[in-house]
């Protein structure tokens, strides 16, 4: 991940935390796919900008508007980026507060995300990428 992609990843997190749907979606290629473990019970898959806009609606249905991501580290894996985050939210129905570690894996092309997936088990993301945590050099947020 180039320094430019690190900055894009930081802006993506900032847009998410500001609940700025348009700015968030602007970081994705129009044909992008996003596999989210949080947006709906059991997760959901979003294709393209229109569906990515629906991602926030689905998140708010499950988590209300008190959701945010706290970045812990970014990792450069060439065409892939890996972000370690803490997802903070409050269950809309239960009211339970959540602070869950998450891995967010993104594949880039021409400065845009073409594929992204979130994992509640960071080991799953590492397996997908074929790397171990010992091989990673963190880039601080």
Domain ranges of the chain: 3-131
Mean pLDDT, residues 55-63: 81
CA atoms lying within 13 Å on the CB side of residue 104: 24
Placement of tokens 């009211």 in the chain: 95
* 25 against 59, higher pLDDT: 25
pLDDT at site 12: 92
- How far is C-alpha 26 from the geometric centre of its chain's CA atoms? 14
Would you state the CATH architecture of domain 3-131? Roll (3.10)
Residue 41: band (very low, low, confident or very high) from pLDDT cuts 50, 70, 90: low
3-class secondary structure, 133: helix
Is the CA virtual torsion 116, 12, 85, 68 positive or negative? negative
Of 100 and 141, which is predicted with more confidence?
Answer: 100
Question: pLDDT at position 3, please?
Answer: 66
């Amino acid at each position: 991940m180039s320094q430019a992609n690190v900055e894009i990843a930081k802006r993506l997190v900032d847009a998410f935390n500001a609940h700025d749907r348009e700015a968030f979606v602007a970081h994705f290629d129009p044909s992008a796919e996003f596999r989210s473990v949080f947006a709906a019970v059991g997760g959901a898959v979003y294709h393209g900008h229109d569906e990515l806009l629906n991602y926030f609606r689905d998140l708010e249905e499950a988590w209300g508007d008190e959701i945010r991501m706290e970045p812990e580290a970014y990792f450069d894996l060439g065409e892939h980026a890996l972000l370690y985050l803490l997802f903070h939210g409050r269950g809309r129905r239960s009211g339970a507060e959540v602070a869950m570690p998450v891995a967010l894996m993104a594949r880039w092309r021409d400065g845009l995300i073409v594929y992204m997936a979130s994992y509640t088990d960071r080991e799953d993301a590492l397996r997908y990428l074929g790397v171990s945590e010992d091989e990673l050099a963190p880039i601080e947020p």
